[in-house]
Homo-oligomer: A and B are copies of this chain.
Amino acid sequence: MSEHAFLAAYDPNAFARPALTVDLVLMSIHADRPAALLLKRTEHPHADRWALPGGFVGMDETLDAAAERVLRAKAGIAGPHLEQLYTFGALDRDPRMRIVSVAYLALLPEAAFRQALDGAAELSAAIVEVPWAGETGGPVTAFSAQDPGRRSPLSLAFDHADILALAILRLRGKLDYSGIGFALLPEHFTLRQLQDVHEAILGIPLNKPAFRRRMLDRGWLAPTGAREAGTSFRPAELYRVRKPL
């Protein structure tokens, strides 16, 4: 049977469907390391483990809208960088029922990240430790950002460790050919701050003059004329992202 014939004869409620959710990786830079917002599960399944914020996709909302709704509801944040990551559909992802989840990556400036953390009591910040270099990929580990002394990794619920790893992979891969890094900075920022973000995401130190040159030669940055305040040394020029990035 061809696709169209099948669809035409299809009774919308004749067959069971997988449930559809969105899961959000809310990332930022915390203490010079990549970090994500997690919430501790209090109920079955996977009670006491850490999960990404998520929710079901409504019948009358797009996937992007569902992701934004979860973002508002769980973290009180509106309008950050938000992009679809990947769709996870393993059969046993969730023991309750068949759930297919569309994972999203949201990038927050450090201030918005802290604000979300303070605003929502159930959210916790987790440092994401990335043991692999470059863009090859692999598993990542999450550690509590509250007490860096406890070096025991957080136990993640469902397949959320995989989602977190993919988020880091995407972030690293897009970092230096797209403007994705700017989403982790405030509207006005110095070149040093931009370099700090890149170094935190990549996990390696970068050469300062080379980094400056590359960034300025891209033509994405516009100097504001204003300068950084509150330093005890020469204040740095503040830049903003040029309008048609």
Residues of A within 8 A of B (CB): 1-8, 10, 12, 15-20, 39, 41-45, 47, 51, 53-57, 59-64, 74, 84, 86-87, 89-91, 94-98, 100, 102, 122
B57 touches A3 (CB 8 A): no
What number of copies of this chain does the assembly contain?
A: 2
Write 30 A-B pairs (CB below 8 A) sorted by A numbering.
Answer: A1-B43, A2-B122, A3-B41, A3-B47, A3-B53, A3-B54, A3-B74, A3-B95, A4-B41, A4-B51, A6-B56, A7-B94, A7-B96, A8-B43, A8-B44, A10-B56, A10-B96, A15-B56, A16-B59, A17-B19, A17-B59, A59-B98, A62-B89, A62-B90, A63-B87, A64-B89, A84-B86, A84-B87, A87-B102, A100-B102
> Given A87-B102, A100-B20, A4–B43 Cβ distance below 8 Å?
yes
